[in-house]
């Protein structure tokens, strides 16, 4: 009789233990769902700032883009000349720079841009024939050159291939400080009206 009572007690205790284990398991599963919810909440909360950071990067690009601002663009015979900068410096020079794009059907060697001046004829395909015109003061400024007759400008060594671009620059004597607008004249190209800026 005592043995039978003990067996019943053990069975009851085992049933309680199993029930308790099931209850804990179910509540644990429920807690896991809560964790998933909190993780998804965290993801959704972090996705907002991440997107904002991306927007900030786009804003930064938008702010940086004016540095590539086009001051002037002229086209002739398949060639596009773009001016992106025209800055004075403290030494009394004006440096004009930009890009040239070859839209012709072959290699372009800039032979038509050479200077007619005897001193600059050896510069070949370059911007040696360029000039700055101050219409208000009725003055024309030619490309500067060194003591050996080399122009202070880009020489397009080997030419520019079809549909390719190249950077260029040319230096001139700076017009008076009260002159803010000039024309860049390059042989065979229309005049390009540009606004001057002060170098840093």
163 is written with which tokens? 């549909």
pTM above 0.85, yes or no: no
Residue 142: strand, helix, or coil: strand
pLDDT of 76 strictly over 50: yes
The set of long-range contacts for 165-170, using a CB threshold of 8 Å and a minimum separation of 24, is 165/99, 165/100, 165/101, 165/102, 166/99, 166/100, 167/97, 167/98, 167/99, 168/97, 168/98, 168/99, 168/100, 168/127, 169/95, 169/96, 169/97, 169/127, 170/95, 170/96, 170/97, 170/127, 170/130, 170/143
How does pLDDT run across 156-195, given as a tens digit for each residue? 988 999 999 999 999 999 999 899 999 999 999 999 999 9
For residue 11, what pLDDT is reported?
A: 53
- Tell me what pLDDT residue 17 has: 46
Q: Please report which confidence band the pLDDT of residue 87 belongs to, taking 50, 70 and 90 as the band edges.
A: very high
For residues 117 and 151, give the distance between their C-alpha atoms in angstroms, rounded to a whole number. 11
Residue 28 vs residue 133, higher pLDDT: 133
Distance between CA 6 and CA 176 in Å, rounded?
115
Task: Give the mean model confidence (pLDDT) for residues 11-19.
Answer: 48
Residue 32 has pLDDT above 70, yes or no: no
For residue 10, pLDDT beyond 60? no
Question: Over 90: is that where the pLDDT of 88 sits?
Answer: yes
Whole-number Å distance between alpha carbons of 15 and 34: 29
Residue 36 has pLDDT above 90, yes or no: no
154 or 20, which is more confident: 154
Does 118 have pLDDT greater than 90? Answer: no
pLDDT of residue 23: 42
Q: What is the pLDDT of residue 199?
A: 67
């Amino acid at each position: 009789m005592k043995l039978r009572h003990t067996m019943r007690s053990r069975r009851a205790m085992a049933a309680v233990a199993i029930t308790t284990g099931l209850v804990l398991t179910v509540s644990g599963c429920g807690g896991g769902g809560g964790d998933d919810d909190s993780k998804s909440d965290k993801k959704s909360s972090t996705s907002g700032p991440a997107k904002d950071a991306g927007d900030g990067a786009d804003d930064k690009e938008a702010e940086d883009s004016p540095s590539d601002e086009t001051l002037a663009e002229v086209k002739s015979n398949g060639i596009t000349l773009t001016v992106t900068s025209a800055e004075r410096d403290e030494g009394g020079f004006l440096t004009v720079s930009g890009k040239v794009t070859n839209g012709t059907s072959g290699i372009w060697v800039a032979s038509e841009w050479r200077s007619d001046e005897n001193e600059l004829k050896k510069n070949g395909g370059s911007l040696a024939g360029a000039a700055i015109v101050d219409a208000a003061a009725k003055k024309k400024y030619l490309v500067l050159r060194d003591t050996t007759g080399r122009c202070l400008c880009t020489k397009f060594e080997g030419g520019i291939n079809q549909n390719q671009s190249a950077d260029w620059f040319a230096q001139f004597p700076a017009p008076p400080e009260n002159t803010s607008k000039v024309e860049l004249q390059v042989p065979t190209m229309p005049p390009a009206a540009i606004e001057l800026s002060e170098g840093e």
